[in-house]
Amino acid sequence: MTKQKRVVSKRHQQQERRRFLRSAAMTAGLVAVSLLGYIPVVKGWVSRLRPPGALNEDRFLASCIKCGQCVQVCPVNAIKLMDLESGFGNGTPYIDARAQACDFSCDGLQCVLACPTGTLTHDLNFPADTRMGIARLDNPGKCLAMQGKGFKGQARGADYQGLLRYDEIDRWNPIRVSEHPYDLELCDLCVRQCPIEIRIAQCAEAEPVEGKIERVAQKQGNECPPIHAIALEKVDGVMMPVIKEGCVGCGVCEMICPPEPAAIVIDVHPDREERRA
């Protein structure tokens, strides 16, 4: 009787052992899979344009709760969420400027206001305070202005889905870029559509109106961008877009640039890429 009992308990012990080992293996497997998410972060594959106000990349990934509230409030649907191939970046927001840039047509930085975790920091009050990235003339050979060419037609073709707000057409609703053809003697789309430049022009226009302030937001002086972001200037006898210190990296220039690939692109702002020591 006692002998049989011992046999049973030994088998039971063995089963318990096996169960423990399987459980340990499963837990270890889960942790290992989740840690694979480190690779895309370390390799920098995650480095993309982030929405306005984003903390530097490490703190951004730490604090983002991956809820997509910023995605939901954007009037031009500029913000998308990253997928599993971005590892720890899974579910975090980014902007693909060539497909749809941030044109600040929400005026109030809605994504920043929507962010529940301060990942898009509330430190900035106006679009001009943003530093998402910096524009760079990547393919000067493609630039129409540098070739002395004008531009006529839809900036990105008839099938392009991207939206921009054209104040003179509809102050409140962005429209398709394809619905707004251009006819320019010299292509200056990157300067013409730059939200910062547009705002500077509006401020300058509104100033002479004494005693009456056209735009509500203008009561606060810093709503007017203090420095230019981009200008078409003559360099070595050729007209070319020159990026200024006021560039916020919103990506509208990259979005609107007609040639393929775009002559002008956005680099992620160096301050955002600073990594922990």
Partner 1 sequence: MSSMKDSLAELFGRAPRRPHSDEISAEAKKLHALQKNDPDRIAAIHAELAHAATHKMPQKWRRRRWAVLIAVNLLFVVSYWLDIQLLEGALTGSRFIGFHMADLNSALQVTLAFKHMVLNLVIGTITVFIMWWLLGGRTFCSWVCPYHLVAEWAEMIHLWLVKKKLVKDHPLDRKARNWSWMIFAVLAIVTGYTVFETVSPTGIISRALIYGPGLAMVWVFLLLLFEIFYSRRAWCRYLCPIGLTYGLVGATSPFRINYHLESCFHEGECRKVCEVPHVLDTVIKGRATGLNASIGADCTRCGRCVETCPTDSLTFKFKGLGDLL
Name the residues that contact partner 1, by CB under 8 A: 19-20, 22-24, 26-27, 30-31, 33-35, 37-38, 41, 58-59, 61-69, 71-73, 81, 83-85, 87-88, 90-91, 114, 116-118, 276
Nearer to partner 1, 112 or 263 (CB): 112
Q: What is the Cα–Cα distance from 32 to 42, expressed in whole angstroms?
A: 16
Nearer to partner 1, 82 or 198 (CB): 82
Nearer to partner 1, 114 or 253 (CB): 114
Strand boundaries in 72-222, DSSP class E = 79-81, 93-95, 133-137, 151-153, 163-164, 175-176, 182-184
Contact (CB, 8 A) for 214 and 173: no
Contact (CB, 8 A) for 97 and 266: yes
Nearer to partner 1, 39 or 238 (CB): 39
The H or E element that residue 214 is part of is none
3-class secondary-structure state, position 6 = helix
Nearer to partner 1, 58 or 129 (CB): 58
CB of 26 to partner 1, least distance (A): 6
CB of 163 to partner 1, least distance (A): 15
Q: What single-letter DSSP state applies at residue 55?
A: P
CB of 41 to partner 1, least distance (A): 7
Task: Provide the residue type at 9 as one letter.
Answer: S
CB of 140 to partner 1, least distance (A): 36
Nearer to partner 1, 51 or 249 (CB): 51
CB of 108 to partner 1, least distance (A): 15
Using only C-alpha atoms, what is the Rg of the chain? 26
Q: Which of 92, 15, 94 is nearest to 49 (CA)?
A: 94
Strand boundaries in 65-184, DSSP class E = 79-81, 93-95, 133-137, 151-153, 163-164, 175-176, 182-184
Quote the tokens at residue 57. Answer: 């990349």
CB of 115 to partner 1, least distance (A): 8
Q: What is the Cα–Cα distance from 51 to 109, expressed in whole angstroms?
A: 10
Q: CA end-to-end span of the chain, whole Å? A: 67
Nearer to partner 1, 23 or 222 (CB): 23
CB of 124 to partner 1, least distance (A): 15
Question: What does DSSP say about strands 264-268 and 133-137: parallel, antiparallel, or unpaired?
Answer: antiparallel
CB of 94 to partner 1, least distance (A): 13
Nearer to partner 1, 27 or 222 (CB): 27
